[in-house]
């Protein structure tokens, strides 16, 4: 993590995330063509602001939530210190944009992204620890090699702005994090995931973080445009709702961001706005051998080097 000699510029971070939320909402609303996002500006207990933006029942997106949060508090919640116990009790600020998109079409993948910044100050010594975290991941219901390779190609390019070129590391961390141990399967095809990132100092880490944030739309929009016109029926819809259950299970059982939001006193309605509007569980269901549903498990729900041919 950063140190007192490398103090961050939280105002620049906040300004970037303000703009990021606006760009993402505008782009998704344009793709959807429906009523767009509705939102609120809610003061946070202890200081800060929560600005949820939610699109519901659109022609393309059944639900999309893009939430900005600026939280301040006197002591970091347990979800933020379980791997950094030395920071327990420190005054902190956390600024983030998190989003989830649940398309109506089973052929358009669900997509999640989160970009966050923390700083924690020791009030006695004045020492400031800071770090960036974030990334994006893709959860298809029907797999397409072209989409998966393009997704990861865009992720790699975003990471190449940093001297350490951390794509391989961030991809491995994503594969490990978005894994359901109780199911023994990945949530999707992964992407990027990183936390506690301060490598090269504030400017270098900030540039890498901004690059990965800007890459979300560059990765997702082409896939949406390519798949949105494909026809689907009851079979594909039933499989989509079944697979959405995996997202719900991960979000409620494992996701650190959900835990942090609830532990920091965030409005529960905002924290859980990312959950899909419809979902289904089916007892002991198995895909038909040789079916497109079986191909998702066989070819996509496993860690792969999607760029091996590059």
Question: pLDDT tens for residues 67-123?
Answer: 999 987 666 655 555 566 566 656 778 899 999 999 999 999 999 999 999 988 776
Q: Which architecture characterizes domain 10-300 according to CATH?
A: 3-Layer(aba) Sandwich (3.40)
Positive or negative: CA dihedral 59, 237, 114, 310: negative
Tokens read off for 68: 């900005």
112 is catalytic: yes
Q: Which of 41, 3, 75 is nearest to 265 (CA)?
A: 75
Asked if residue 262 lies in contact with residue 270, where contact means CB atoms within 8 angstroms, the answer is no
Could you tell me which residues are beta bridge partners of residue 91? 121
Catalytic residue among 102, 112, 152, 162: 112
222-242 tens-digit pLDDT: 999 999 999 999 999 999 999
DSSP letter at 85?
G
**Would you state the pLDDT for residue 119?**
86
**Would you state the pLDDT for residue 5?**
47
Is residue 210 over pLDDT 80? yes
Identify the residue whose tokens are 């070819």: 299
Asked if residue 98 lies in contact with residue 50, where contact means CB atoms within 8 angstroms, the answer is no
What is the arithmetic mean of pLDDT over 247-273? 79
Please tell me the pTM assigned to this model.
Answer: 0.90
Asked if residue 108 lies in contact with residue 32, where contact means CB atoms within 8 angstroms, the answer is no
Q: How confident is the model at residue 255 (pLDDT cuts 50, 70, 90)?
A: confident
């Amino acid at each position: 993590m950063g140190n007192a000699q490398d103090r961050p510029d939280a105002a620049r971070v906040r300004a970037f995330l303000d703009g990021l939320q606006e760009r993402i909402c505008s782009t998704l609303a344009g793709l959807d063509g429906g009523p767009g996002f509705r939102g609120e500006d809610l003061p946070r207990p202890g200081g800060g602001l929560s600005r949820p933006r939610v699109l519901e029942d659109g022609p393309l997106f059944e639900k999309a939530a893009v939430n900005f949060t600026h939280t301040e508090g006197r002591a970091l919640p347990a979800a933020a210190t379980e791997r950094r116990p030395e920071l327990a009790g420190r005054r902190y600020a956390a600024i983030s944009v998190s989003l989830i998109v649940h398309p109506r079409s089973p052929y358009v993948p669900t997509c999640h992204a989160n970009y966050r910044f923390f700083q924690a100050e020791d009030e006695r010594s004045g020492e400031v620890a800071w770090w960036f975290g974030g990334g994006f991941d893709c959860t298809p219901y029907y797999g397409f090699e072209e989409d998966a390779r393009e997704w990861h190609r865009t992720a790699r390019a975003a990471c190449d702005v940093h001297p350490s070129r951390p794509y391989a590391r961030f991809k491995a961390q994503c594969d490990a994090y978005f894994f359901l141990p109780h199911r023994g399967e990945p949530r999707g095809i992964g992407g990027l995931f990183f936390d506690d990132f301060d490598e090269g100092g504030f400017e270098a880490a900030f540039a890498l973080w901004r690059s990965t944030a800007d890459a979300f739309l560059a990765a997702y929009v082409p896939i949406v445009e390519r798949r949105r016109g494909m026809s689907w029926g009851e079979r594909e819809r039933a499989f989509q709702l079944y697979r959405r259950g995996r997202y719900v299970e991960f979000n409620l059982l494992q996701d650190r961001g959900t835990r942090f939001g609830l532990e920091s006193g965030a409005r529960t309605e905002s924290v859980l706005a990312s959950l899909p509007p419809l979902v289904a569980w089916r007892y002991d269901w198995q895909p038909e051998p040789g079916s497109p549903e079986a191909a998702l498990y066989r070819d996509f729900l496993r860690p792969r080097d999607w760029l091996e041919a590059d």
